[in-house]
């Protein structure tokens, strides 16, 4: 890997990818005390950064006349990048995707002209199947992240960000298998070693973070996260070598942090970003990384999210931010009690969204019930005021309210 290979990739990509400028965010700057910029690759062709690495690899194969068919594996974004690039080069493409891949990504991959084959429950399962197809059908396989040409394509993002804001102090980069983080870290450090490059993973898929911390290659037995695009059990050998040498740190965020970041981004920018792509913003807003007084860029790596999933993630984010809460109230099971609770909630401007009764708890006396009432509130402080109003009225609020299910 050399900086020249990344510059050559930029030349190949010049007429293909769109250069999304770094957008300054006054809102996120005010929230964090830093000077925050967003690199919105959710607006990129095919909906993510992945087209950069895929096109660079396939274009190079075409230049060398090495193949007329490719096979790849992907949770969705690499698939679309490969399908787009293969179609542009007149190549046949087969993409193996986990069965958990959102329908929108499957449909988009097929829409670009590739054959999508669903196999296994995660990227690693799909990888094994893709290697089988490579042997049986003679197609050229190339890795979605552990490939120097792919990494060089992703590294073009590092060059772009530094060209736009040369005095950046820090760049936050999502990481699954590590291709994007490796490429950006290598490119950035080659141009300006003083810029910190921080990788971020989901807590439920932390293989790179663990490997970076332990300074040895670690694979996880399973992954579980809403960030399907970075749900990787086994990071790459090439990527980990580059990350160990050029990245400054790799941190993790919870699914709640990710969902909350997606909501913040929708509310403030009016743009959709997928869970994997939102991890950089999630880390920024989590408070785990001190950026006060620093110029920091968050790389939002993609926006390919299934429509049916958006509502679930928004609900998760509202719960995480304390905007949805469930109060459990132990009261007498008689007429008028629900009306009493409703009047209190209305007076405190809490909107009721769900009501259930529990008359089966062993702790209840005869004639008692537990009312579980879900509400929309303005945030955690508002929820505390509502709980206090219920308690002050003589009602028994269990656990002083809990997050809505």
Q: Which residues of 249-276 are buried (b: 16+ CB within 10 A; e: fewer)?
A: ebbbbbbbbbbbbbbbbbeebeebbbbb
Whether residue 107 is found in the same domain as residue 249 = no
The H-or-E segment that residue 297 falls in is strand 295-300
Same domain, 174 and 226: yes
Query: Could you say which DSSP state residue 283 is in?
Result: H
**269 and 294 fall within a common domain:** yes
Three-state DSSP string of 119-154: CCCCHHHHHHHHHHHHHHHCCEECCCCCCHHHHHHH
Same domain, 33 and 170: yes
User: 323, 377 in Cβ contact below 8 A?
Assistant: yes
- Let me know whether 389 and 327 are in one domain: yes
Same domain, residue pair 98 and 228: no
Residue 194 and residue 293 in one domain:
yes
Averaged in consecutive runs of 10 residues, what is the pLDDT profile of the chain (405 residues)?
Answer: 96 94 96 97 95 95 85 85 91 91 84 93 87 92 93 98 97 97 98 98 98 96 91 94 98 95 92 96 97 98 87 85 92 93 96 92 85 94 95 88 45
Half-sphere exposure of 236 (CA within 13 A, CB side): 26
Say which residue the tokens 């973070």 belong to.
209
In terms of domains, do 176 and 58 share one? no
Q: Give 394's DSSP letter.
A: T
Cα 61 to Cα 13: distance, rounded to the nearest angstrom: 14
CB 271 within 8 A of CB 264: no
Q: What is the CATH number of the domain that holds 166?
A: 3.40.50.1100
Q: Is there a single domain that holds both residue 268 and residue 171?
A: yes
CA–CA distance, 52 with 75 (Å, rounded to integer): 16
Query: Domain containing 368: what range?
Result: 322-403
Q: What Cα–Cα distance (Å) separates residue 58 from each residue in 66, 90, 365?
A: 10, 10, 70
Domain C-terminal end among 318, 334, 353: 318
* Listed residues 318, 337, 354: the one ending a domain: 318
Same domain, 355 and 259: no
Q: pLDDT value at position 403?
A: 45
Boundary-marking domain end, from 93, 112, 141? 141
| pLDDT at residue 228 in the model | 87
What confidence tens digit (pLDDT) does each residue in 264-283 have?
Answer: 999 999 999 999 999 999 99
- For residues 312 and 334, state if they share a domain: no
Q: In the prediction, which pLDDT does 273 show?
A: 96
């Amino acid at each position: 890997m050399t900086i020249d290979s990344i510059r050559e990739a930029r030349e190949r990509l010049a007429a293909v990818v769109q250069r999304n400028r770094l957008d300054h965010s006054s809102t996120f700057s005010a929230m964090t005390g830093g000077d925050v910029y967003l690199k919105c690759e959710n607006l990129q062709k095919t909906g993510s950064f992945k087209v950069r690495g895929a096109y660079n690899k396939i274009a190079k194969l075409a230049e060398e006349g090495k193949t007329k068919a490719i096979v790849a594996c992907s949770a969705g974004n690499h698939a679309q990048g490969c399908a787009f690039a293969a179609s542009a080069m007149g190549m046949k493409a087969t993409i193996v995707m986990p069965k958990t891949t959102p329908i929108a990504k499957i449909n988009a991959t097929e829409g670009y002209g590739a054959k999508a084959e669903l196999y296994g429950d995660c990227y690693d399962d799909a990888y094994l199947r893709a290697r089988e197809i490579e042997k049986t059908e003679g197609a050229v396989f190339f890795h979605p992240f552990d490939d120097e040409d792919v990494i060089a394509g992703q590294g073009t993002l590092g060059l772009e960000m530094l060209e736009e804001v040369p005095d950046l102090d820090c760049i936050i980069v999502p990481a699954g298998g590590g291709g994007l983080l490796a490429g950006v870290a290598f490119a950035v450090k080659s141009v300006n070693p003083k810029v910190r490059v921080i990788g971020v993973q989901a807590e439920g898929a932390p293989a790179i973070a663990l490997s970076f911390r332990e300074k040895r290659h670690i694979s996880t037995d399973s992954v579980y996260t809403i960030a399907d695009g970075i749900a990787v059990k086994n990071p790459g050998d090439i990527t980990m070598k580059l990350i160990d040498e050029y990245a400054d740190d790799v941190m993790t965020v919870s699914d709640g942090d990710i969902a909350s970041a997606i909501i913040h981004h929708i509310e403030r920018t009016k743009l959709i970003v997928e869970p994997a792509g939102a991890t950089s913003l999630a880390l920024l807003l989590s408070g785990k990384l001190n950026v006060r007084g620093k110029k920091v860029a968050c790389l939002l790596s993609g926006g390919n999210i299934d429509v049916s999933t958006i509502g679930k993630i928004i609900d998760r984010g509202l719960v995480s931010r304390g905007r949805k809460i469930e109060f459990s109230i132990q009261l007498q099971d008689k007429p008028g009690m629900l009306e009493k609770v409703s009047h209190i909630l209305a007076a405190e401007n809490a909107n009721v969204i769900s009501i259930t009764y529990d008359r089966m708890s062993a702790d209840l006396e005869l004639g008692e019930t537990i009312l579980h009432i879900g509400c929309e509130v303005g945030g955690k402080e508002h929820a505390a005021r509502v709980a206090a109003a219920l308690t002050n009225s003589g009602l028994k609020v269990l656990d002083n309210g809990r997050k809505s299910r």
